[in-house]
Structure 1
């Protein structure tokens, strides 16, 4: 008899529901959210289980790889797709969600999610730490500017830490009583910038040592951060049937609503990996505004900018860039200037 299970995972506990091939509930239980505990439960109560399903979430990677190592036939499914099936119940609860996931495992009506390896998550963690440091630096500098304006002082545009220190020294000469007050905030900004430089050097070394990243960096506008973000997000280029599918995966294609005679295309979907989408958009902006050497992609983007506007042109170039990088990676070739 084929049996299937659904896991509704929370931070501390996981609700388990096991059903048979006809959808009848065989067993329910609640255990700790730990792969070793879950694997022992399945080996004890549900030997020969056909498929186990859990949703994407904060613990999904940890549980997926842990259960795979312990020979549990686990599948991770898209939470956005599972929500449609689980919302059919009037009353939502962890017990009902676990049963709904078990029924999805039985019917096979779900979309599998590609689970990245642990080494890839290390690169992604380093990229997210850098992004958080940038966000923190911007917030603290804006706070510094705003507080100075309370006293009629303006930091003005400073592009380097040395120029900022020089400007602050000039402002403190006007208001010496503010130096001790602002010292903790200024010291925090300096520390964050120091750690940001260290994070950037780490990522640059990682990208320069990777052959795929080096190949992707041959494209104009693509630096080590964008290349590493792309490889860490895609991981395996062969999981896409066509290079054009990468644009939809990143969320850079228009939404579509079609029913009967109505067929509406809206703004981009913004689905998928937001970090990769932002990196591609920044690379597209660099191609259109900063790269001096002309290329066919740049000329195409600038023509679109004249007719459709700058923002649409950047989005379109970012989508083409996603397709181009996938093609170069898959074919093991470098960018050729036109």
Structure 2
């Protein structure tokens, strides 16, 4: 007998609904939002599992790759399309949403979303962190330039740390009383 499942994910818990080929609810449960826990639960309770459906969200990439790696036939669907289907239901709750997702898994009336590889997400995160560090460094350098102008020192185009240090030492020689203000923390 073919069975289908829907997952409604939140930060800490995931609602699961399992239905048969005719749409009858076989089992409902709430487990931790962890791929290992979800995979063990699905393997234990769903022997003839055909498809699991999961909406896009903050944890969808993590759960999708974790469940695929544990041998679960899972598909991630567009949350906006799922919202259109789920909004037709009278009662809006996690229990009803997960049942609607399971029904979508059974019927196949959804738009599948391509999930990028984990390495792609790691590369993108590294690039974002680098861009933030460059922005922070530039902002701090501009603030330092502005503060030093108050005391008559211009950094100019000192682009290397050695050149900046030379200019700061020259400034400290002129104004030793301000050395504590610009000392490293």
TM-score, with structure 1 as normaliser: 0.45
**5+ residue gaps, structure 2:** none
Partner residue, 1:19: 19
Q: Which has the higher strand share?
A: 2
- Residues 143/72 of structure 1: CA separation in 2 closer, same or farther (3 Å cut): same
CA gap of 1:13–1:184, structure 2 versus 1, over 3 A, is farther
Q: What is the aligned partner in structure 2 of residue 53 from structure 1?
A: 53
Partner of 2:63: 63
Aligned length: 185
Please tell me the root mean square deviation across aligned C-alpha atoms, in Å: 3.2
Distance (Å, rounded) in 2 between the aligned partners of 1:25 and 1:71: 23
Structure 2 partner of 1:30: 30
CA distance 1:70–1:143, shift in 2 (3 Å): same
Secondary structure at 1:65 match in 2: helix
Shift of 1:93: 4.1
The SS at the match of 2:168 is helix
In the TM superposition, what are the counterparts of 1:147-226 in structure 2 within 5 Å?
147-148=147-148, 154-184=154-184
Q: Distance in 2 between matches of 1:96 and 1:56?
A: 17
Deviations 1:204-249 (A, max 9, x none): xxxxxxxxxxxxxxxxxxxxxxxxxxxxxxxxxxxxxxxxxxxxxx
Counterpart CA distance in 1 for 2:112 and 2:74 is 11
2:126 counterpart residue number: 126
**Any gaps of 5 or more consecutive residues in structure 1?**
186-338
Alpha-carbon distance between aligned partners in 2 of 1:92 and 1:79, rounded to the nearest angstrom: 15
Q: Which has the higher contact order (CA 8 A, sep 6+)?
A: 2
Bigger share in helix: 1
Q: Distance in 1 between matches of 2:139 and 2:71?
A: 46
**C-alpha deviation, 1:31, in angstroms:** 0.6
| In structure 2, distance between residues paired with 1:159 and 1:52 | 55
